[in-house]
């Protein structure tokens, strides 16, 4: 179940500006955001890294050049696309900065709770994307979904609509404490709206803000923030 009742005696439920603790939502430093944007995108040029958090592209370019000098990012090319990618050292540094941000605000339990809510629905999203790609052919085999079965596709879209509500709620709750978590729900909803308008690839389109891409990006964001390796995730 999403959400929980606020507890005014719990530091994580203290309203912004109350007491002497950190004000919420937290605003991450541009240096952290630039590094984190590269992790989330996997491969990003200056403009894509800047756009992820609405930063100035020239400022991000200078920041990433500094990160390159420190050995945290490197230039790579994949499938004809060239951009920045994290090094192992950059991945470790990003996780160190994220952990420091989380610990400084005392938000570890809060973020982990939202992560567990998200993880409980992760398999549903993966299944929905698979069902969008493949469907039974009537002979006990799976075949490419040519989107000629309105009932099948309608069921998948209903599932994605329910998942849109899940990701919107989790993102909003997280963003109320850590600003960089905002926007996932709107991006997922925009992709789903494009699918409903007939742009069918926006369920699972790669290197674009498709439903699958946005969901997986929030997953990566949570793992990075909590310092969890994918192979070490708990079973929902």
Q: State the average pLDDT over residues 203-224.
A: 97
Q: What angle do CA 138, 142, 145 make, to 5 degrees?
A: 90
Q: Average pLDDT of the chain? A: 91
pLDDT 10s digits, 127-175: 999 999 999 988 889 999 999 999 999 999 999 999 999 999 999 999 9
pLDDT band at 116 (very low <50, low <70, confident <90, very high): very high
Taking the C-alpha atoms of residue 169 and residue 42, their distance in angstroms, rounded to an integer, is 25
Helix (H) or strand (E) holding 91: helix 88-105
CB atoms within 10 A of CB 119: 17
Residue ranges in 134-210 assigned as alpha helix (H) = 150-175, 184-196
Residue ranges per structural domain of the chain:
30-98, 107-232
CB 194 within 8 A of CB 90: no
pLDDT band at 21 (very low <50, low <70, confident <90, very high): low
pLDDT category of residue 20 using cuts at 50, 70 and 90:
low
Q: Does domain 30-98 have CATH number 1.10.10.10?
A: yes
Task: Quote the pTM value.
Answer: 0.89
Q: Is the pLDDT of residue 5 over 80?
A: no
Report the alpha-carbon distance of residue 220 to residue 79 in Å, rounded: 22
Question: What mean pLDDT do residues 13-19 have?
Answer: 43
Beta-strand ranges (E) seen in 31-124 are 73-78, 81-86
Cα separation, 170 vs 164, in Å, equals 10
More confident residue, 22 or 3: 22
Q: Which tens digits make up the pLDDT trace of 59-69?
A: 999 999 999 99
pLDDT band at 18 (very low <50, low <70, confident <90, very high): very low
């Amino acid at each position: 179940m999403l959400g929980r009742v606020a507890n005014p005696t719990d530091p994580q439920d203290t309203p912004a500006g109350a007491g002497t603790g950190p004000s919420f939502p937290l605003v991450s430093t541009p240096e952290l955001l630039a590094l984190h944007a590269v992790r989330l995108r996997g491969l990003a040029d200056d403009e894509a890294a800047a756009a992820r958090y609405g930063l100035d592209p020239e400022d991000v370019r200078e920041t990433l050049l500094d990160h390159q000098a420190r050995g945290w990012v490197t230039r790579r090319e994949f499938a004809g696309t060239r951009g920045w990618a994290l090094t192992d050292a950059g991945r470790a540094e990003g996780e160190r900065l994220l952990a420091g941000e989380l610990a400084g605000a005392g938000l570890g339990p809060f973020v982990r709770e939202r992560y567990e809510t998200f993880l409980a629905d992760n398999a549903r999203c993966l299944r929905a994307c698979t069902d969008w790609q493949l469907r039974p052919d009537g002979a006990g085999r799976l075949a490419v979904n040519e989107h000629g079965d309105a009932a099948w596709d309608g069921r998948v879209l209903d599932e994605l609509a329910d998942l849109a509500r899940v990701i919107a709620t989790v993102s909003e709750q997280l963003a109320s404490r850590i600003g960089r978590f905002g926007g996932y729900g709107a991006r997922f909803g925009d992709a789903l709206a494009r699918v409903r308008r007939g742009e069918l690839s926006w369920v699972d389109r790669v290197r674009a803000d498709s439903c699958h891409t946005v969901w997986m990006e929030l997953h990566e964001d949570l793992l990075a923030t909590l310092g969890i390796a994918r192979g070490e995730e708990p079973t929902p």
